Amino acid sequence: MGNQAMNEFVRHTSALYTNEIEHGQILQCPLCGKRFSGSINISNFENHVNKCLDSGVSANKPENMQDTHNNISLGIQRLDSAVFSPIQKNHQQPQLSPKLQHVRNNLNSLRVSWEQSYVNLQVSREDLFVDSLQLILGFSEQALRSEFHIQFKGEQAQDAGGLTKEWLNLMIKDLFSDNFRLFHLTETEEPKYTFIRNSFDPDLYTLTGKIIGKAILENIPLPCSFSILTLKHILNQKITNDDIKHISTDLFNSMKYIESHNIEGIFYETFSIIEDNGQIYDFIQDGRNIQITEETKEIYINLRAEYELKTSIEQSAEYFNKGLYSVFPKDIIIDLTPEELDFLICGTSNIDINEWRKFTLYKNEFNDKHIVIKWFWEVLGNLSQNELRDLLTFVTGTSRVPPEGFEGLKTTRGEPAQFTLEPMPWFSGALPRAHTCFNRMDLPIYRNRFELRNAILQVIQNHILGFGLE
């Protein structure tokens, strides 16, 4: 049994151990099989399990808990999907290039100081999208560059940045959902978001541009990685037929096949396409009745590429850009590559535990040697990337690491705010509290690692957001 599978097994049965100890039942070590009476202290039981882990004892698990970790099929994954894979301990720490740092400095210079001006947004969670749409579309350039203070109707929490991050992420979740049909994932090995063909809604695309522009300005990474084609449209860069590979691997291969093979007798398409709404679009006049031949296939390839890469999405891109560049001028980012712009928008989704720990601050009695802190990092070391992203969302308000890495965590006012752990008293049922405005977690002084692990999993699995917000 692999180390990851063994740790997963122990983690998923830890709640059962705690429950059995509390009820005085006989326990059995999940690794070596040793049995203990119900009177054993939970710390002693945990120490025994830890020794088994450290000595590499194979798990003596029930037959119905099969080890499938070595047989997971990792095909194409949707964006930010959960993948059980080892944490990449040696993942290179992300850094801003001089060019990106220059862009960041220019963006920071545009921000309106909260002392000069700020904007109050009162929205309800039930009608978040409608309330926000009416407000944001009417904002001036200065308002968009000012500090937002989000107030959720009926809630007491005051926004010092955390609610703004939550609001931005909730808006992105809505705008990129299937409900609005603005974006869809590409049919490529690594799916990314791109405009849906002929999905023309000026207000919604303009709103999306404004929301993403505001997040870029505030240096708040978002979980919406765009395709290279979409990024080229944003940057107004040259688009070629080769860019079809960024929206559909199958279509790209099909076009390549037509280009390099004689299609007489094997290809019976016409100069038209059936659109998503069921309507037929002709590439040329009466194209639906004109069959493609060996002599005309090059014309077809160029017309099909023109449709897929420009005609069917250029209006959507135009209104998206209208919204984006109402927050800051195009000149600030125009020299970026598509990859650099993606990094600026999204940061990085991979979470490096070593880097996270390196740039963590401790308050009061906490330090890197404190037993609760040791347990904390041991628990995080056994979480999947998806679970780590959920925990990061809980404590910072976003699932992504900024382009500067964990060292670059800041408040929405641009002040340094590295991840901080502060102790709080333990009581029965105590859960960690998050202060997303300041990237701080109040961590109870748990009695053992099992309690700590169960609490972390509880806030992750129940997606406890807004708990303890300041």
Q: Hey, which residues are catalytic here?
A: 437
Say how far apart CA 327 and CA 107 lie, in whole Å: 10
Are 361 and 419 spatial neighbours (Cβ–Cβ below 8 Å)? yes
Say how far apart CA 379 and CA 372 lie, in whole Å: 10
Say how far apart CA 397 and CA 469 lie, in whole Å: 10
DSSP label at residue 445: -
Instruction: Let me know if 282 is exposed, middle or buried by CB neighbors in 10 A (0-12, 13-18, 19+).
Output: middle
Say how far apart CA 193 and CA 234 lie, in whole Å: 13
**C-alpha 374 chain-centroid distance:** 27
Are 204 and 182 spatial neighbours (Cβ–Cβ below 8 Å)? yes
Letter string b/e over residues 51-69, b meaning 16 or more CB atoms within 10 A of that residue's CB = ebbeeebebebeeeeeeeb
Task: Name 435's bridge partners.
Answer: 440
Are 406 and 359 spatial neighbours (Cβ–Cβ below 8 Å)? yes
Are 149 and 199 spatial neighbours (Cβ–Cβ below 8 Å)? no
Tokens coding 73: 């099929």
Say how far apart CA 387 and CA 398 lie, in whole Å: 13
DSSP line for 286-335: TGGG-B--TTTHHHHHHHHHHIIIIITTHHHHHHHHHHHTTTS-GGGTTT
Are 85 and 386 spatial neighbours (Cβ–Cβ below 8 Å)? no
Say how far apart CA 148 and CA 56 lie, in whole Å: 52
Are 369 and 379 spatial neighbours (Cβ–Cβ below 8 Å)? no
Say how far apart CA 431 and CA 453 lie, in whole Å: 11
| Cβ partners under 8 Å of residue 235, min gap 6 | 333, 334, 336, 338, 341
> Which one, of 59, 6, 66, lies nearest residue 32 by Cα?
59
